[in-house]
């Protein structure tokens, strides 16, 4: 027997045996289940959070580190971070005094999904700290809106106008 007729014979035997073991209705039912199952696969819930994070760039707004320029409260800061200068993100280092006049920003907190009004005060009375310079300008306006511009030494009204570093103080939740 040639190679070809042996293959034909084997295929015939297999098909007959399969036909004896299954009914047409059963076969169609199984085929239907497979088709429906595969068409529903794209509807299954998929965790896409890692993709969203990747789209936003590494760590953007997603750091809990107040010494990092990416920290959410610093969205409109321009200066040396007081948290790197012996103070905290919201309090001036010892020996310096917060400026009574400030500039204001609105920052989105990814931890709770809310927007906050943030006051950026300069800490005055010592020479520049020199650590952790951070310049972010979300929502910054030109100089004609002075309180919304961050390129100003706000220590100018202090007794000692030397600029040391900047803090960010939450004033409240921004109304939508």
Cβ partners under 8 Å of residue 92, min gap 6:
82, 98, 121, 123, 164, 165, 167
Binding residues vs ligand ABN (CB under 6 A): 78-79, 122, 150-154, 163, 166
Token pair recorded at residue 54: 């990747």
CA distance 132 to 79: 8
Residue closer to ligand ABN, measured from CB, 119 or 166: 166
What's the min distance (Å) between Cβ of 151 and ligand ABN? 5
Q: Does 103 participate in catalysis according to the annotation?
A: yes
Residue 82 to residue 60: CA distance in whole angstroms = 20
Least distance from ligand ABN to the Cβ atom of residue 113, Å? 28
Q: Which is nearer to ligand ABN, 147 or 153 (CB)?
A: 153
122 is catalytic: yes
Q: For 3-18, b where at least 16 C-beta lie within 10 A, e where not — what string?
A: eeeeeeeeeeeeeeee
We find the least distance from the C-beta atom of residue 146 to ligand ABN, in angstroms, to be 11
Catalytic entry in 8, 10, 78, 103: 103
Residues identified as active-site: 103, 122
């Amino acid at each position: 027997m040639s190679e070809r007729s042996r293959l034909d014979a084997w295929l015939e035997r297999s098909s007959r045996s399969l036909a004896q073991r299954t009914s047409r209705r059963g076969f169609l039912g199984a085929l239907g289940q497979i088709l429906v199952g595969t068409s529903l696969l794209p509807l299954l819930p998929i965790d896409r959070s890692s993709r969203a994070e990747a789209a936003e760039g590494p760590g953007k707004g997603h750091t809990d580190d107040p010494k990092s320029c990416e920290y959410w409260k610093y969205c409109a800061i321009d200066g040396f971070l007081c948290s790197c200068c012996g103070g905290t993100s919201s309090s001036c280092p010892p020996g310096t005094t917060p400026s009574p006049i400030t500039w204001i920003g609105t920052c989105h907190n990814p931890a709770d999904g809310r927007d906050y009004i943030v006051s950026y005060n300069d800490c005055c009375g010592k020479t520049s700290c020199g650590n952790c310079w951070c310049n972010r300008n979300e929502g910054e306006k030109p100089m004609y809106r002075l309180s919304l511009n961050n390129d100003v030494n706000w220590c100018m009204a202090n007794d000692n106008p030397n600029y040391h570093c900047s803090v960010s103080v939450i004033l409240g939740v921004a109304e939508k």
